[in-house]
Chains A and B, each alone.
Chain A
Amino acid sequence: MAFLSYLINGLGLGSVYAIIALGYTMVYGIAKMLNFAHGDIIMIGAYAAFFALNAFHLPLLVAVLFSVAVCTVLGVLVERLAYKPLRQATSLSVLITAIGVSYFLQNSAQLLWSSATKVFPSVISGGALNLGGVSVSYLTLITVLVCIVVMTCLTLFINRTKTGSAMRACSEDKGAATLMGINVNRIISITFAIGSGLAAIAAVLLCATYPSVYPTLGSMPGIKAFTAAVFGGIGSVPGAFLGGLLLGVIEILAKAYISTQLSDAIVFTVLIIVLLIKPTGLLGRKISEKV
């Protein structure tokens, strides 16, 4: 029974990783860049939700929407101001810029709101559901549900809508997409908007579980989710989902059965083994280089 409850907790944590990983993987799929500032968008989302709840006393759903709006605008702005001018630059320049944006956001948060940890209000009641002897907290249940809803909506959006099909076209060949009349810059903006909006949702779920808000809050979940995206195959949406869930489960099981201190090391060891066996990640496609 203990195993089952660890598993479910792992799925809960993994759901948060999966939602964050979607942001990494979509941006990589379309803009072919690693947005290392993605974790810090989560941090801004957490502060936005914190102020909406604590200072403006908004209801939870409105606070989530506010946080989503803030992050969406921020994500699009970061892309416009920092990454778009580098569209023709080497990927290394873009990568370094992303790291710069990351520090910029962290330091701005520190300047604006100090580095002191703020306590995120408890938003989802602490009750638990008894499922055949295994107790599952409402929070975990909601987290997993939100993740499933997000995944379903996103998959439908990408596969069934015109904008989604334009996104898939851009991820394959931006030049050919332009010839079709697709405004590639607009598609990249939409991708950043969606990824950043999802980061806000992840921020609220994360803070509901670990209720402290501080300027470097996004770093660790950001790196874990990035790992999840690589694990599942970067650029693949189902891969981010699978990678996120597996990473969460492995982390919690490692903590429970092996060592709390070593859990992160174990997670990364698994990643290295997967990449040694399948360099494109679990669901990643082999990208053939065009000449």
Chain B
Amino acid sequence: MLKVENLVVRYGMIEAIKGISFEVSDGEIVTLIGANGAGKTTTMHAISGLVKAASGSITLDGVDLLKTPGHKIISLGLAQVPEGRRVFAQQTVEENLILGAYVRRDREKIAADMEYVYDLFPRLKERKLQTAGTLSGGEQQMLAMGRALMSDPKIILMDEPSMGLSPLLVSEIFEIISEINKKGVTVLLVEQNAKRALAIADHAYVLETGKITLEGTGKELASDERVQKAYLGG
């Protein structure tokens, strides 16, 4: 479904991503783990068009994403839950969700998806007329996920969804990621919480200073000595 090949991203003279390749197949949860500054968010931004790639290729079902303007990528079925949530703080929960469906025209299906999102996150329904800025961090994370779902995506990119959340909320968020995936949405998950991410991932890659150093199934990497040492506190 999503294929990244020899991707290079530069910020001025600094090469943040040094030619990485990975693949996300239909229906999978794939995770990219790595420390702060490894290039995880940069990779996400390159896929969704928020930063320009220097070279390499990114394709979604054969469509070249590097030649697609950023705002057209969501119509191809790729949504992103950005790092730090980035909900529209001054707009209400409901307005945020409606913005998630900005490119869609199928009104009835949008209304049905709104119900689906409210079923998935009942707390959002309770707060639907509140401005997003008044929500707690966990609720904002749910809103960012709900907003991404509102575009009816084939694949969702999630950038550090557990960042800054309490352990209880982290569990809740990871359960929901699995649930979304079971409904047929492919997930590319970027996480610092390697343990949790590997536990639900079909496939995983370790990113270190702009390079992929290890790859395998979630289980393989979770039991890999190097991963345990570097990321699982083992």
- Taking Cβ atoms with an 8 Å cutoff, the residues of A that contact B are 162, 165-166, 168-169, 172-173, 175-184, 285, 290
Contact = CB atoms under 8 A, between A and B. Distances in A.
A165 B102 CA distance: 10
B75 interface: yes
Nearest to A290: B84
The 9 closest A-B pairs by CB, nearest first: A181-B103, A181-B74, A176-B86, A178-B70, A183-B71, A180-B102, A181-B102, A172-B88, A180-B99
What size tier do the contact residues of chain B reach? 20 to 34
A176 B82 contact: yes
A175 B50 contact: yes
Given A180-B74, A181-B151, 15 more contacts: A162-B102, A165-B98, A165-B99, A166-B102, A169-B88, A169-B99, A172-B90, A172-B91, A173-B86, A175-B50, A177-B99, A179-B82, A181-B75, A182-B102, A183-B69
- Chain B interface mostly: loop
A190 B100 CA distance: 21
Contacts of B72: 181
Contacts of A173: 86, 88
A290 B69 CA distance: 25
B100 A180 contact: yes
B50 A179 contact: yes
B121 to A, nearest CB: 18
A168 B89 CA distance: 10
A19 B73 CA distance: 37
Nearest to B98: A165
Most A-side CB within 10 Å, residue of B71, B79, B90: B71
A179 B91 contact: no
Contacts of A165: 91, 95, 98-99
B178 to A, nearest CB: 23
Nearest to B51: A175
Contacts of A285: 90
19 contacts: A162-B102, A165-B95, A165-B99, A168-B88, A169-B91, A169-B99, A172-B89, A172-B91, A173-B86, A179-B48, A179-B70, A179-B80, A179-B82, A180-B151, A181-B75, A181-B151, A182-B71, A184-B71, A285-B90
A184 to B, nearest CB: 7
A33 to B, nearest CB: 20
Contacts of A183: 69, 71
B49 interface: yes
A285 B50 CA distance: 27
Contacts of A177: 99
Interface string B127-162: 000000000000000000001000100000000000
Contacts of B95: 165
Contacts of B147: 180
Contact of B74 (A166, A172, A179): A179
A14 to B, nearest CB: 27
Contacts of B103: 180-181
Contacts of B99: 165-166, 169, 177, 180, 182
Contact of B90 (A166, A168, A175, A182): A168
Contacts of A176: 82, 86-88
B50 A178 contact: yes
Nearest to A162: B102
Contacts of A179: 48, 50, 70, 74, 79-80, 82, 86
B82 A175 contact: yes
B91 A168 contact: yes
Contacts of B71: 178, 181-184
Nearest to A186: B71
Interface string B71-114: 11111000110101011111100010011101100000000000
B144 to A, nearest CB: 9
Contacts of B73: 181
B205 to A, nearest CB: 23
